[in-house]
Amino acid sequence: MSIKAELRSNGVVNIAYVPHTTEDAGDLPKWYDEVFSHLTDDAQSSQQEQVKDDSSRPPRKESREGQQEGDVPDGGWGWVVAVGAALIMMLINVVGPCFSIIFAPFLLDIGTSSTTIGWIFNLFQFIYNFSGPLLGPLLAEFSWRSVALPSGLLAAASLALSAFAGSAEFLIFSYSIVGGLSCGLLNNLCYLIVPHYFCKRRGIANAILVTGVSCGPIFGPLLVRYLQESLGFKGATLITGAVVFNACVGASVFRPIHKDSGDSKKSKKLCGLILRVICSTVTNVRVLKSPRAVIIAVSGALTLNSWLNFLTLVPFAVQAAGYSFQEAAWCVTASAVCILIASLGISLLSDFKFFNMRISCMVSTAIIAASILAFSFIDDITLLIVVMGVWGLGVGGYMGTYNLVIVKYMGIEKLIPTFGVTLMLVGLCFITIGPSIGLIRDMSQSYAVSMYVLSGMAFVCSVLWNFMPAAVRYDQRKENERN
């Protein structure tokens, strides 16, 4: 029996999110069949049931493998999905990138150390990104919409709970755990859903998505500071949570490409569900057998850790230089405007054949490294805002092809596992490198030293992309030998 037939016989309804192809069947570990043998009874009893027409599960893998350009909408309701994803990204990017603006006054008032602040933020990022490997298996069981709606509710609840925090430790639960899981699932889902609705116009659709990504950090700091000045920390955080609740509106438009797609009606007993999710998550890691995936995953992990940890340090560094939090908010806003400009431009250019995504990634990470280094040597607030703008151009350039570069080098069928493994590494780096950055700051009593480390991480990423052509040739040679 083929691996696809075996999976279907055991109740896996969405083959699009199972990382194995039929060619991989011979490489499956022995325990894989043993695990699935325990799931057969519940799954076979519901194989013949029909699925719902009004849900939003993505298309199956076999239909995508033979997919022609005319098989996807490339417009129509796909544009509504892109706008809905952009709305979600705008709102959840108030929760993550605006961490320092939201919580800095509260944390400084209670005398929280840089190490503790680093743990709160980086644990959030760890859970945020570690939800990536879980998302694909969850989408094999549930629809886009069924995952997105509860995540939107939890994201809003995260800020509502944080408004009543009495200590930094409480934020570890309310912000890091609840917010990290919900915002991570929403973020990763939005990056994955848009490429499935477009082919020729994928760059334009991605531009709509990254517009939402950039608008959150542009308007979020200004909104939060205004609310804090008017209502204080608790009132401002509660209202910000109510604003984030509108992510559920964006999630509600995630309807299916094909009307015969839907949530499975098979038995979803907790034990069987957990086993299927764990099996699929573990096997996703096998994509790292490809050096192309290794370069994408490692460079993504280091780049995201570099820019997000830097963004967390900025408000504290600006205040240490003798400026107000309002001026720190302007630094964040200036960077967000430039992120928007760069990400829009890069996304639109990516549809043209002359555009080289690898060179774009190299240049973008080099700009990030240089601007972080420059920031550490400057004291004038005007120059700091300018440097933050340049830094934003680098981040926007990388962000504009964040998901598209995976499609280019790995193919749409490996977008899910590669994206998931990348985020797993990102999460591991946040839980290890992130707190170390705060510790370096506490030991050196200097934000500049921490920024030197972050700049070096971004520079390593720029160098890594030089090896992508060799990785492509290696994988092609291996494939030819296999055939």
Domain of 120, CATH number, reads 1.20.1250.20
Give yes or no for a contact between 84 and 252, defined as CB atoms under 8 angstroms apart: yes
Question: Would residue 58 count as lying in a domain?
Answer: no
Question: Would residue 61 count as lying in a domain?
Answer: no
The pLDDT of residue 207 is: 86
Question: Would residue 43 count as lying in a domain?
Answer: no
Question: Would residue 38 count as lying in a domain?
Answer: no
Q: Is the pTM of this model over 0.85?
A: no
What distance in Å separates the CA atoms of residue 325 and residue 390, rounded to the nearest whole number? 21
CA 426, 428, 430, 436 dihedral sign is negative
Mean pLDDT by 10 residues, the chain (483 residues): 47 42 43 43 41 40 42 76 92 82 84 81 84 77 88 93 89 92 90 83 85 81 85 90 93 75 55 74 82 92 88 85 81 85 89 90 94 92 92 91 86 83 84 81 86 93 94 90 83
What distance in Å separates the CA atoms of residue 13 and residue 287, rounded to the nearest whole number? 22
The pLDDT of residue 269 is: 64
Query: With the CA atoms of 191, 151, 395 and 431 taken in that order, what torsion angle do they form, in degrees rounded to the nearest 10?
Result: -120
Question: Would residue 437 count as lying in a domain?
Answer: yes
Question: Would residue 426 count as lying in a domain?
Answer: yes
The pLDDT of residue 466 is: 93
Q: DSSP for 350-404?
A: TTSTT--HHHHHHHHHHHHHHHHHHHTT---HHHHHHHHHHHHHHHHHHHTTTTH
- Start-end of H helices in 163-269: 168-171, 180-196, 202-244, 247-251
Assign 157 to helix, strand or coil.
helix
What distance in Å separates the CA atoms of residue 253 and residue 452, rounded to the nearest whole number? 44
The pLDDT of residue 265 is: 52
Domain of residue 383, residue span:
73-254+275-482
Question: Would residue 22 count as lying in a domain?
Answer: no
Q: How many domains does the chain have?
A: 1
Query: Phi first, then psi: what are they for 130, rounded to 5°?
Result: -70, -10
The pLDDT of residue 412 is: 80
Residue 469 in tokens: 């052509």
Cβ-based neighbours of 471, under 8 Å, separated by 6 or more: 290, 291, 292, 294, 295
Give yes or no for a contact between 449 and 101, defined as CB atoms under 8 angstroms apart: no
